[in-house]
Amino acid sequence: MGFKDYKDYKTGSANEEFEKGLSSLSEGSAKIYRQYFNEFLRWGGSTPAEFYQWVKGLEASVDPRDRRQLTIAYNDFAKSKIAEGVSPNTVLSYRKAIHKFLETNELTLKIKKNGGKTKYRGQKIILLDQARKLVDLASSNLRLRALLMTLKDTGLGVSEVAMLTCEDFHGAREYKDEDGERFKAWSHPLIRDKTGEGCHVHMGPEAVAAIEDYIGSRRIGPIFITSKGQPHKDEAGNITSEVGFTEKGSPMMSSGITTSIRHHCKVLRNKGYRVSAHSFRKLFETSFDLEGSLNVAKKIMGKAIPATDEPYLQYEDELTKVYMHVYRKRLSLYKESTRIKDLEEEIEELKAEKGTEVDDLRQKMDEMQKSLEIINKRDIERRIWEKEKKDQK
């Protein structure tokens, strides 16, 4: 084959070239890019071909200031998404999807980087007492309670939580701590669509109990399901609500989990705490980091870790031991932690040691008392002897 043979290469439509570019990405990333770009097109009332011609016209314009129209359009789109409750970071992902389309179609125009950014408006990590409050408020909603506990105990993202199945839950290895609390570790890694990394899923007793209450006798299928099914979609992926919903028990999608948690977090968000489903992931990672086990957290969460540290994290049982240790100290919401019990035992030992010291002091005092009695006795005898001697004179 020579260079001359490339003259036969057929350039496809704008959308076909976009799909060729997506083929180099992981399946999960390609799906997200496709979804985000199509949302942008629907917002602008355009097709891929029409959008391509519009941007091509901006690039060819005699007045370079016309090129700002793309950034202005994106900024308006970003504002509309943020108004819907979409996070600024997710909005920037829409920008990446649009850029992917432009690059694969050999267009050089770019959206300025500040498009869609907003100022940080508070914390993004959830505190343990805040998580406890959310769980308490969800006590009558078994699915929501199970979701909150799962996010807290596993450190998984919403996409991975949506992938959890009853088969994996029931087939997971089970461990018990010294208090008899049950922990679960998945028998095989859960592969993340986004990165292809494996999540070594672990669950603490609170998530295990909450899921068992939620799924009841279900043994197969996704753990988290919808209460009324998903809206039907046409071949292009557009929702056609007039057709109705699918059967009850359809898998809960990641977007549904995100919306459910965001709505439930309003009680904290209204007080200025910027928390979401992702906040539980940050809580999980921070808890392990505080215990000096950040790489263990990354291994469980499905994040990349340094190649030099990989050999030390190959043994699942070791991962589970570290997980159970950190869980008892940092992630348990309701159960008395082993750390507190250990402190109580230390206090008892100190009391015992102090008791021994007191006994030693008492013994020394008794010995001193006996010595004083002997001294006093001898002093009395000396006085009597001196008096007798004086009387004799």
Q: What tens digit of pLDDT does each residue of 362-371 get? A: 777 777 777 6
The whole-number average pLDDT for the span 27-56 is: 92
158 and 73 in a common domain: no
183 and 310 in a common domain: yes
285 and 165 in a common domain: yes
pLDDT band of 246, cuts 50, 70, 90: low
Beta-strand relationship, 182-185 and 190-191: unpaired
220 and 287 in a common domain: yes
330 and 274 in a common domain: yes
Average confidence score pLDDT of the chain = 83
Domain final residue pick, 291, 306, 335: 335
Low-confidence winner among 57-71, 81-95, 181-195, 317-331 (lowest mean pLDDT): 81-95
Whether 348 is in a domain gets the answer no
Here the CATH number for the domain that contains residue 318 is: 1.10.443.10
* pLDDT(339) > 60: no
pLDDT at 195: 80
Q: In Å, what is the CA distance from 233 to each residue of 47, 217, 245?
A: 19, 30, 9
pLDDT at 334: 82
The whole-number average pLDDT for the span 210-218 is: 91
71 and 141 in a common domain: no
Distance CA 214, CA 292 (A): 34
pLDDT band of 358, cuts 50, 70, 90: low
Distance CA 15, CA 125 (A): 39
- Domain that residue 142 falls in: 128-335
The total number of structural domains that make up the chain: 2
Whether 116 is in a domain gets the answer no
144 and 9 in a common domain: no
45 and 158 in a common domain: no
Whether 18 is in a domain gets the answer yes
Contact 205, 181 (CB under 8 A): yes
Whether 310 is in a domain gets the answer yes
Distance CA 27, CA 192 (A): 10
DSSP structural state of residue 227: S
Q: What is the pLDDT of residues 264-299, one digit of tens each?
A: 998 888 888 888 899 999 999 999 999 989 989 999
The whole-number average pLDDT for the span 57-78 is: 91
Q: What is the pLDDT of residues 47-60, one digit of tens each?
A: 999 999 999 999 99
Distance CA 190, CA 301 (A): 10
Q: What is the pLDDT of residues 159-211, one digit of tens each?
A: 999 999 999 999 999 999 988 999 999 999 999 987 888 999 999 999 999 99
155 and 81 in a common domain: no
Whether 356 is in a domain gets the answer no
Distance CA 174, CA 141 (A): 26
Low-confidence winner among 63-67, 75-79, 385-389 (lowest mean pLDDT): 385-389
* pLDDT(248) > 50: yes
Whether 37 is in a domain gets the answer yes
Contact 302, 190 (CB under 8 A): yes
